[in-house]
Structure 1
């Protein structure tokens, strides 16, 4: 695994140039083609709905880069899209990403979540959550007003937080993670 130590200490790291301007333009053009005639600002099923986009990710080396960072035994479990322009922005409160999509029989000790977009979500056990990694790719500038990611450094290392503990963590200072076109965190 090639992730920097501060990733494990803080819970995140940034990559200032995951893709070149030309690669971003290529991915953006494919994505705009996928969205033609829609007004979508968020989608939870990218990998299912837009296979051309994921093929383009392969062609610009995304999956090879991921494997170089976390090893080649990874698998994609969720793919989200959010476009948060000033005129279509929405607030997302601080939260822990605790839920994953499952199909088939759900173990009895797993907590069911709310169905979304026809998918069954469950709260994943700690052993699954601690192995998850999230990659956020910026196809355009992502500043504070376009939904920069607010991170509470170190909160990831404490497992699933109960409500009183969450309130104590939220009182701490957030680190706002923004990014330039082609960057990732």
Structure 2
């Protein structure tokens, strides 16, 4: 099957050698400064990261998975190692960063993280989002790789009980990757990760791409989301 078919069927696809690992190493000072170690959600405001988002969208394979009118709306930095270890339980990514609060019945789960406002929008918004997890380092079985439940992105918003049953029925795929690889996924795909049991470092830049305009009076938190050049 083609990458596009795999992606639409499974809700995720690994694309190899998207970015030169040496180029990613050069971004280390950008990722690490201003308290970014371990999980900053605000990296897209930095010019080097914004430029990388444009590069990802125009990549010859990724451009077949990211709609042409989508824009980069968030970049989160994750780091996992023997010194900074954590796990993530089975879940779906349901929140998006927005510029201001809007009073609408279909919006729920308002929260504030790192001084930014997040909300859980309706399913039809979440189904349009594309996440690109760019691996700064190699991520093997001992490094706490992401595990994704194939096809679960088609099932809507799931309760924890239903999510567990879906995983038991469908199983999960472990997404090992080399430095410079990109795991493209639908945020509604059920996913989890275990603690690392090795001694290496697993760093990921997690980009989210979404439609230029949002419904219900919402605007993206990123100031230049509407003015990003269409690639």
Same fold (TM over 0.5): yes
How many pairs are equivalent?
A: 178
Q: Structure 2: where are the runs of 5+ without partners?
A: 184-231
1:92 correspondence with 2:88: yes
Query: 1:45: how far off?
Result: 0.7
Rounded to whole Å, the distance in 1 between the matches of 2:84 and 2:151 is: 31
Q: Residue 125 in 1 paired to residue 125 in 2?
A: no
Deviations 1:136-176 (Å, cap 9, x if unpaired)?
11111011232311101111100101233123123342211
Q: Is 1:18 aligned to residue 18 of structure 2? A: yes
Q: Give unmatched runs, 5+ long, in structure 1.
A: none
Point out the more displaced range, 64-73 or 35-44.
35-44
Q: 1:10-49 counterparts in 2 under 5 A? A: 10-19=10-19, 23-32=20-29, 35=32, 40-48=37-45
Match of 1:175 in 2: 173
Runs of 4+ displaced beyond 6 Å: none
Instruction: Tell me by how many angstroms 1:39 deviates.
Output: 7.5
Name which structure has the greater RCO, CA cutoff 8 Å, separation 6+.
2
Q: Residues 9-158 of structure 1 correspond to what in structure 2 (within 5 A)?
A: 9-19=9-19, 23-32=20-29, 35=32, 40-48=37-45, 50-56=46-52, 58=54, 61-65=55-59, 66-109=62-105, 110-158=107-155
What TM-score do the two structures reach when normalised by structure 2?
0.69
- Report which of the two has the higher share of helix: 1
